[in-house]
Amino acid sequence: MLRLTFFLASLLGGVNLYLADDIVLQFLSGTLSVFSLGISIIWPEPLPPPPSPNLWSDAPEKKEREMKTCSNCGKAVDQKWSMCPYCSKRV
């Protein structure tokens, strides 16, 4: 809506430029018309409204994957892995 308002102001400035008799008024009207047309072109669209607070569900109680610890470095690795990605030893 704000972009449309600046565009309409630019059109009215162009009409004022066409109908003005004084050179100072023509200069000011033309400058402001170009300025408001530029703003109407580059003005960003407004952001969409924020999502509702109940949009996201709660985290599940159980982990998605079963983990085991590496016997060499002690870090948690996936249950199906046969080699530790941290120390490159067999699990």
Q: Which residues of 15-39 are buried (b: 16+ CB within 10 A; e: fewer)?
A: ebbeeeeeeeeeeebbebbeebbeb
Q: What are the tokens at 63?
A: 């982990």
- pLDDT tens readout for residues 69-91: 888 888 888 888 888 888 888 87
Q: Please state the pTM of the whole predicted model.
A: 0.46
Domain presence at residue 22: yes
Number of domains in the chain: 1
Report pLDDT digits (tens) over 53-68: 777 766 667 666 778 8
In a domain, 53, yes or no: no
Q: Is 24 among the domain residues?
A: yes
Pick from 30, 9, 5, 8: nearest CA to 19: 30
Q: Which structure tokens are listed for 12?
A: 């009215």
